[in-house]
Amino acid sequence: MNEDDSLVSNCKCVMGNGNRIDFWEDQWTEVTSLRESFPRIFRIANRKSGKVHEFRAIVDEVWTWRIEIRRQLLAWEVNIWNEFMNVLNRATPVRDGEDRLKWLGVSDGKYTLKSYCLAVSCVGVRDDNIWKIVWSNIAPPKVEAFVWKAVLQRLPNIVKLLKR
């Protein structure tokens, strides 16, 4: 799947125990993926793959991150590292334990075909006030349908009628 896929772009991993979420590639923090958002840290990291639970340790019931790097950080990399660690620390696991996907198309996070269709149909569409006026029930339905066809230039004109 590519990044333009609307299904993938509207899903986010919700961290539980970290057994199923890829640490570098999946979107489980506030950023798209750690690899894309922190390419410098990814380049100097010893481990380029693994699940979230492989990069953390629980010490005294507190999560600590174990990201091993192959060299000392340069002075200008320290700010990037601090932001990287802040992003990791803001990602909190859910209490029930299992990792899962959350559908961003609806507030409850549960995927439905209807919510997917709404998300896909609304991509790139801006709110147009003319439709609120057309469908506001101030005219009979026949007139509303006529105006709708006229705005979309779907009225049969003499050329179209001659073709028929």
Note down pLDDT in tens along the chain; length 164 residues. 444 566 667 778 888 888 888 999 988 888 888 999 999 999 999 999 999 889 988 778 777 889 999 999 999 999 999 999 999 988 877 766 788 888 777 777 777 777 777 766 655 555 567 777 777 788 888 888 888 888 777 887 777 777 87
In single-letter form, the type of residue at position 124 comes to G
Please say whether the dihedral angle defined by the alpha carbons of residues 12, 14, 18 and 24, taken in this order, is positive or negative: positive
The dihedral over CA atoms of 95, 97, 103, 107, expressed in degrees to the nearest 10, equals -20
Beta strands in the chain (DSSP E): 11-14, 56-59, 62-65, 100-103
pTM: 0.62
